[in-house]
A and B are shown apart, each in its own frame.
Chain A
Amino acid sequence: MIDVRNLSYSYSHNKSYAIRDISFEVGEGEVFALLGPSGAGKSTTQGILTGLLPIQTGEGEVAGFDLRHMSRDLFNSIGVSFEQSNVYGKLTALENLAFYRKLFDVETEDPMELLKMVGLDHVANKRAGDYSKGMKHRLTFARSMINKPKLWFLDEPTTGLDPTIAGQIKDIVLKRKQEGTTILLTTHNMFLADQLSDKVGFIVDGELKLIDTPRNLKLKYGQRLVQVDYYQDGELVSETLSLAEAGEKHRLSEIVAAGNIETMHSREATLEEIFIKVTGRELVYNEAD
């Protein structure tokens, strides 16, 4: 569905690259997450793939369309949800969607159904300008589904949403994934990327450092750990022990044999820990990203 090779882009048209030599593939029905901190080049990459930025160097195809000769027909099969909500404030939510659906040549979703899906049906006839930030974000998200996209670009889809709404959005994305929609997710949220993606790519300073499945990354870079809380001489003690180390495995056996355990959990490395390990950078969220 997406196949790009050696993409580089400079906003100032010089050697100061926002992204440099990026190559990756996303197969049909796959969810690929571009994970990186603020200013890493995630949105620039998405901008090129959605035609919002012109391709400078490199080549690629999106949904069967050459990036160098993009046709408007491409947009019948893709949907884009922006990080910054962008809806017409003077129109109601329903009017926003009713207008946008007319811009496509393909069968579209019922606007009211979409609003129900994102929990905005009770304010469907309220002007979007009077919505809260989160509501506008949900409307922007709903709009990206209006043309039943085969390829869906999601830029920070849960940023700024409360946990309940963020959970609903995540469920919608999972449902679409099950229905076979290909998804390119750009986010700094490693939990979201972990839960939704088949593959992740770590992007830092405009360079794609690594691509793999979350499971392989955890196996490769993470340690199998067990965190155990137990009582010793009347005091609660907590230890994290590696199952890869013989000495620590033995220590775990001793604790278990003593029988004073309060809680015991297996613990995997998170994507964030792996990200830091691989790139030496943290996934710090920045509103301006």
Chain B
Amino acid sequence: MLRRILAVTMRDLRSGMRDAMIPYILIAPLLVAVLFKLFVPGVGSTVINVAMPETAEPAFAEYVERYGEVELLEDRDAIVKRVQAMDDLFGIVPKADGGYELIAAGDELTGTVEMVQSVLSSWQNPDLEPPVELKISDMGWELSPLARFGTNFLVVFMSVFGGMIVMLNLVEEKQYNTMAAINVSAIRRWEYVLGKALPGLILPILHAFAVLVIMGFTEVDYLQVAVVAFAIALISMIIGFVVGVYQSEPIGAVASMKILFLPIMASVFGAIFLPEKWQPVLYWSPFYWAYRSVDDIVLQQAAWSDIWLHNLIIIAITALVFALMHKRIKQGMRA
């Protein structure tokens, strides 16, 4: 039984890796995540980086370290060379008169020179009262909205790629008319379906893990991520089967699969932008519930009870879709 299931899975993987489409599907989401990461402002970019000589007064170095990263280098030449490197880093060299020389490359982020100047000024004038009154308020955002919503969107959206892999492998069967040969072998229908489905179920989980790591969410509960990604992969896989068994041409099949993009976009952007009272209009979408789960996971606020409840809703909707589609899938797999 397991031998036959794995035979189907391994055949699909082997065959899939022999043209550009499936490797592209495997890699493209990760490239998108890397691009997202480049656009997301990180905590690191707001920290000032400073290089100063090893001979600098230790108390001064400790003071600057309260505001940023400090590198201690051999001498002024080494500091100048370091400042000229690609990253944003300022050089501070104590002068004989008690002042400081601030060395900048000139391409630093706007405002950061003033930040360093302000730090130096406050070190030199500890008793000076700032000419402004500061109040700090917390909006409750613990991370960048782009990182949060972008990551959630990618995790939910990537479930489609699992369905696409299932679909492309079925299209190949239709293309070469090999379904008839499968139907006269001893493999059971459910073994064949499971063998076909495995990559579509596992891939979204791996993609979700990879996206979270790339986006820097290393502290989240990965078991919760796996459970949600698995549930959402089910619906994409069913759509993959429905499209795959009726298409014999890959480009047409991919175009048909785009049908899933609309509910995913609507669910994710609806969940982000719709006010609370309008959220129920999205309750029909399994992607909405997946999005809510992933959001809680990313914020590290997810309770297992909520995860299971959302998954139960996703699986119930999936079961309904399957009930409506299973005849069509069965007919398409005949030959």
Partner of A103, one of B14, B177, B185, B335: B185
B187 within 8 A of A: yes
- A168 to chain B minimum Cβ distance, whole angstroms, is 22
Bound complex: CA A52 to CA B187 (Å):
14
Known: A88-B15, A90-B15. A100 touches B183 (CB 8 A): no
Q: Nearest B residue to A128 by beta-carbon distance?
A: B176
Partner of A52, one of B3, B4, B14, B334: B334
- Does the CB pair A52–B184 fall under 8 Å? yes
Residues of chain A lying within 8 A (CB to CB) of residue B19: 90
A137 within 8 A of B: no
- A28 to chain B minimum Cβ distance, whole angstroms, is 20
Interface string of A88-116 (1 = CB under 8 A from B): 11110001000110111110000000000
Interface string of B153-189 (1 = CB under 8 A from A): 0000000000000000000100111101111111110
B11 within 8 A of A: yes
Q: Label chain A's interface by main secondary structure.
A: loop
- B207 to chain A minimum Cβ distance, whole angstroms, is 24
Residues of chain B lying within 8 A (CB to CB) of residue A100: 181, 185
Q: Nearest B residue to A104 by beta-carbon distance?
A: B186
- Does the CB pair A87–B178 fall under 8 Å? yes
- B178 to chain A minimum Cβ distance, whole angstroms, is 5
- Does the CB pair B186–A52 fall under 8 Å? no
- Does the CB pair B181–A72 fall under 8 Å? no
- Does the CB pair A105–B176 fall under 8 Å? no
Residues of chain A lying within 8 A (CB to CB) of residue B143: none
- Does the CB pair B178–A88 fall under 8 Å? yes
- B194 to chain A minimum Cβ distance, whole angstroms, is 14
A86 within 8 A of B: yes
Interface string of B1-26 (1 = CB under 8 A from A): 00110010001001100110000000
Residues of chain A lying within 8 A (CB to CB) of residue B335: 52
Known: A52-B180, A52-B335, A86-B178. A105 touches B186 (CB 8 A): yes
Residues of chain A lying within 8 A (CB to CB) of residue B3: 102
- Does the CB pair B184–A50 fall under 8 Å? yes
- B181 to chain A minimum Cβ distance, whole angstroms, is 5
Residues of chain B lying within 8 A (CB to CB) of residue A72: 186-188
- B184 to chain A minimum Cβ distance, whole angstroms, is 4
- Does the CB pair A75–B14 fall under 8 Å? no
* 22 A–B contacts, CB within 8 A, in A order: A52-B184, A72-B187, A75-B184, A75-B185, A76-B186, A80-B181, A80-B184, A86-B180, A88-B11, A88-B15, A88-B176, A89-B176, A90-B172, A91-B14, A100-B181, A102-B7, A103-B4, A103-B7, A103-B186, A140-B181, A147-B185, A147-B186
The 6 A-B residue pairs with the shortest CB-CB distance in the complex, in nearest-first order: A102-B7, A103-B185, A86-B177, A80-B184, A103-B187, A75-B186
14 new A-B pairs (CB below 8 Å) besides A88-B15, A95-B14? A52-B184, A52-B335, A75-B186, A78-B184, A82-B180, A86-B176, A86-B180, A90-B172, A91-B15, A103-B182, A103-B185, A103-B187, A104-B185, A147-B186
Q: Which residues of A contact B (CB under 8 A)?
A: 50-52, 72-73, 75-76, 78, 80, 82, 84, 86-91, 95, 99-100, 102-106, 127, 140, 143, 147
